[in-house]
A and B are shown apart, each in its own frame.
Chain A
Amino acid sequence: MADIKVALVGNPNTGKSTLFNLLTGLNQKVGNFPGITVDKKVGYCKLAEGRTAEIIDLPGTYSLYPKSKDEGIVFQVLADKSNSSYPDIIVLVADATNLRRNLLLCSQVADLGLPMLLVLNMTDMARKEGIHINVNMLAKRLGIQVVAMSARKNDGLETLKKALANTTNISTQINGVDANLFASEAISAVKQKINIDNDYYALQVLHQHEHLTFFTPQEQQEIEAIEKEFGFESSKLQGAETVARYRYLSTVLTDVIFDTGAERKFKNTDKLDRILTHKFWGFAIFLLILFVIFNAIFSWASYPMDIIEGAFGWLTTVGHERLPDGLLTDLLLDGVVAGLGGIVIFVPQIAILFAFISILEDTGYMARVTFMMDKMMSKVGLSGKSVVPMIGGLACAVPSIMAARNIESWKDRMITIMVTPLVSCSARLPVYILIISIIIPSESVWGIINKQAIALMFMYLVGIAAAVIVAWLMKFLIKAKEKSYFIMELPVYRMPRWKNVALTVYEKSKTFIFEAGKVIIAISIVLWVMASFGPGDRFEKIDQKYATALADTTQNTDHINSLISSEKLENSYVGILGHAIEPAIRPLGYDWKIGIALITSFAAREAFVGTMATIYSVDGGDEDTGTIRERMIASKNSVTGLPIYTFATGISLMLFYAFAMQCMSTVAVVYRETKSWKWPMIQLVYMTAMAYVAALVAYQFLK
């Protein structure tokens, strides 16, 4: 248990997360805020005299009045004394190169009356730009400790730790703006009704109570009634407050800040922007960067993926050799280990993608991409900010849907969440690769371009095109709650902070393994049970049928064993399910075996290859695609005697996988993000319907 709880609050782009990483190092974790479904970053830090502090990194915001879901967390945590994240001390992180705007939030937080201190970050940059700040005078005027730092250069950390240790639980700040200037009657009414002693807190409650979950319905009604009684005009009062705060800050900053070279700061950024947001070069460079990312995901990641695959294969083989035969061993190795291998295999790709995304964000380039793409994206009902989740969707929809939180407009955010799973994620890759290797010959066009690579790229383009078209349709179907807007800071370009990048990659990979892992392991076990057992005495009958053949030593027992296992699979619970859905999928060109794969893939697409491996009873799981491939090519339709995996079936199957919502983790995360079953259900239905129709049309045209 930590001795004190510290919350980091500040504007975006102030180096808040760098400071968080500096304070906590690897000693951090991602958790949940009680009652709020948003990730909470928590870490621990040792202070003097053996005391430890729990550090909570709150999302960056420009004001306590939130514009996005992420920003709303800040006040929700600071407002709720019973919340387990409620801090003892607030550390307000401000960018010294843009102090006045940063202090707006500082003065709002200060007026809430919690003990706090101010960190002036990036003082080295400010000095370089000719900005001088009189730290002592600022501290005196605000009535709190002010620590000048440069988190990037590891400068001032010890001073901050000392200051934290010195902070008592009595707040010392001087009140900035009197909240009673704005709605004094409503404030005193609220204070009386729900036992609040801070004026500004009461004002904030009046503004934001709809979003605060800790008030009882009765309290909510009472606050609502007070608003009506005194004609509380939220927007107007917020505007008046902002003006009053800036006026107050002008007084605070007189003779505190000396800016001698405001222009110098933008010189390099200006030069870079001229190229990076250029009409032609801007897009060319963006495409080039995307190409590099793609290439990295597909080629660099293949080395670690091969190693992981080999390791899990080895583990299964050795496990089967060493462990006693039996149900438990089978469950452990073929259920749990196989399932685990299926997740860990994606970690290299996810790590590479997140490394690139975090470098692009850290340098300030991502903001420019958003700036360039906004016009195009807003045409189809998205926002420039949807670019980040859509690119992330190439790796995995789960973190990407969470990344959509910083899209302010509700409608833009919903559409982004609804279409992101259509972008081909890395789980579809093994499916595409397996099927393409079956139906497309490995030949080159003009000697250099591989036909299989073209087919793969085509599948990715199909996914992106589908996302764009669906977004455009949803633009007309979804009713907006508020106007969409796009007001965003363009930060100056900076070198990426490699430590931040490394920590982001580590965090995201860890979250992926644990979040997706839980689901996939559960599914693997269920699947294993359903594939290993059948109703009644069907399994015994199969055993009896082959008993004599097995006893005959002149016959190849391996062959008979594989006949047994495939017959058992057909008679197991999944086999029966596969047969049951066969009439529905026959028009798409599938048989009951593909039916089983479709069922298992509804939990997670990556189950396809593994299921195929089991169905075609290839020993050793999915590390030997070559063999599954050969068996799949050889497989014939039991009725017509024609090969099953024709070009038509292959395309139909790939289109089905491109569109269908076959990922329980995504369904779960959409539920978590939208807080209702409505959206994940709509998504599940529309994607599955689209997949069915596309596969049907493709098969009927091509067969």
Chain B
Amino acid sequence: MSDKVLLDYGSGGRASQRLISELFLKHLGNDELNRLNDAAELTVSGRIAMSTDSFTVDPIFFPGGNIGSLAVHGTVNDVAMMGAVPRYMTCAYIIEEGLPMDDLERIVASMGEAVREAGVIIVSGDTKVVPRGALDKIFINTTGIGEIIVDPAPSGDRARPGDAVLISGTIGDHGLTILGTREGLDFQSKVESDSASLNHLLVRLVRELPEVHVLRDPTRGGLATTLNEITHSSGVCCELDEASLPVRPEVAGGCSILGLDPLYLANEGKFLCVLPEAHASKALEIMRADPLGRDACRIGTMTDANPGKVVLVTHLGGKRLLGMLEGEQLPRIC
């Protein structure tokens, strides 16, 4: 194969065939995908969670991951937030002509590792190559489905006054990493993306505690935006305790230099859990037993004071509104 991705590779002809067999099947292959049929034949049962996401992150390689691993983590997490076991995924690559083949291979290899780690398989895929300048390097779409294992499934409209609000770890790591890498900033301490598949931890959590009301991953728009979505859908108020928010000192430092608020920065390996107070300590115990949830903590409580609003109780003990992100803080973070 050429050392660069050429338009030929997206033609559907022999060149496409070579790219599929020598690269995609090598890293992503499984019995279903290897059949190379027009569609996958799947066996699923019961209620299904399904989610799709397109990944356009810039830069495509960043500390803690790359667009290939991120495209798996993002979709696996979205499916798992529904109290589902993710099973199957599809992926569609749109590649700019001229992308180094080594870069593509690194991306596909990362995707392969990520699906194996998450315990899902890629059952269908597509590759298009577009002329130089028609897009920036590479975009990937993934779609995933999984079987829902709790009834009712966790949902953004199920938060109730009195519920505890938990976060599975530190916030802002991914967003700051992307901006820092893009701007060529050299952080003195190590800042890296938290991109990871959370499904194994989430499945354990909902199996042991089917009482969980809401699971959400605070990706674009960050924790503040996700909490606003939940309070809005559920018609409750979230009182968030600023002093308990877990932020790595190096992330807090980077944010203060760049004028960013970690509450609005994307996370790709964290989830919010809203559940009845009585189960909060058990949930934290389960989360902290997993490396991906070792910094889990309680950050607030749902109340009926200001329905639809998030109120931040500040370090000083003052109270203020915590609104949604207005427009974009940073474009193309995932």
Partners in one complex: no
Name A residues whose Cβ lies closer than 8 Å to a Cβ of B.
none
Name B residues whose Cβ lies closer than 8 Å to a Cβ of A.
none
